[in-house]
Amino acid sequence: MSLSLRLYAPSPGVVKGLEFLGRGPRSIMQEILKTIGDLVLGSVPTVIAFLILLAAYQILVRKPLEKTLADRHGRTGGAMDEAKAAIASAEAKTAEYESKLRAARSQIFESRTARAKAATAARDKAIADAREAAQHRITVARESVERSGAEAKAQLEAGAASLSQSVLAAILPHRSGMGAV
C-alpha cells in the first residue's frame, strides 16, 4: 500500500486516516472527533465571514433593491390604476354618448313621424276640402241645370201653347175656307 500511496501522493488527511487502521476503535473515534472539532473550529471564521457577508448583502443590496422594487411597483401600479380608471371613464362616456345618440335618433324618428302624420292630415284635409268644394259645385251646377231645365220646360210649354194656337189658327182658317167653298 505504501507503494500506491507514494504513486498517488495522498493528502495528509488521508495519511492520518490510514494510520487509524493500526489503532483501536476508541482511539479512532477520538481521532475522528478531534478532526471534526478541528474542522468546525476552522470553519468558524468562514461562518463569521459568511454572516458578515449576509448582513452586508441585507443592508447594501436587498433592502435598497426591495425599496426600489416597491417604488417601481407603486408607480406602475398607480399608473395601471390610473389607466384602468381612464378606461372606465372612457367606457362610461361612450355609454353616455351612445345613450344620447339613441335618444337623438328616437327624437328624429318621432319628429319625422309627426311631420309625416301632419303632412298626411293636411293632404287628407285638402282632399276632403277639394271633394267638398267639388260636391258643392256639382250640387250648384245640378240645381242650375234643373232650374234651367224647368225654365226651358216652362218656356217650351208657354211657347208650345202659343205655337199650337198659331198652328191651329194657321191650319184652321185654311180648313174653314175649304169648307165654305
Chunk the chain into consecutive blocks of 10 residues (it has 181) and report each block's average pLDDT, rounded to whole numbers.
46 57 76 91 91 95 92 82 90 95 95 95 94 93 90 84 81 58 42
How wide is the angle at C-alpha 19 spanned by C-alphas 14 and 23, nearest 5°?
140
Within a domain: 178: no
Within a domain: 96: yes
Q: What is the pTM of this model?
A: 0.37
Within a domain: 170: no
Domain of 7?
A: 2-163
Q: What pLDDT sits at residue 117?
A: 95
Residue type at position 143: E
Within a domain: 169: no
Rounded CA separation 145/136 (Å): 14
Question: Distances from the Cα of 90 to the Cαs of 83, 93, 96, 97, 99, in angstroms?
Answer: 10, 5, 10, 10, 14
Cβ atoms of 20 and 31 closer than 8 Å: yes
Q: What pLDDT sits at residue 7?
A: 45
Rounded CA separation 145/164 (Å): 27
Within a domain: 168: no
Q: What pLDDT sits at residue 9?
A: 53
Domain count along the chain: 1
Q: What pLDDT sits at residue 3?
A: 43
Q: What pLDDT sits at residue 22?
A: 59
Within a domain: 174: no
**163-167 long-range contacts, Cβ below 8 Å, gap at least 24?**
none
Q: What pLDDT sits at residue 176?
A: 52
Within a domain: 108: yes
Strands (E), 4-144: none
Within a domain: 179: no
Grid cell for residue 69: 422594487
DSSP 18-36: HHGGGS-HHHHHHHHHHHH
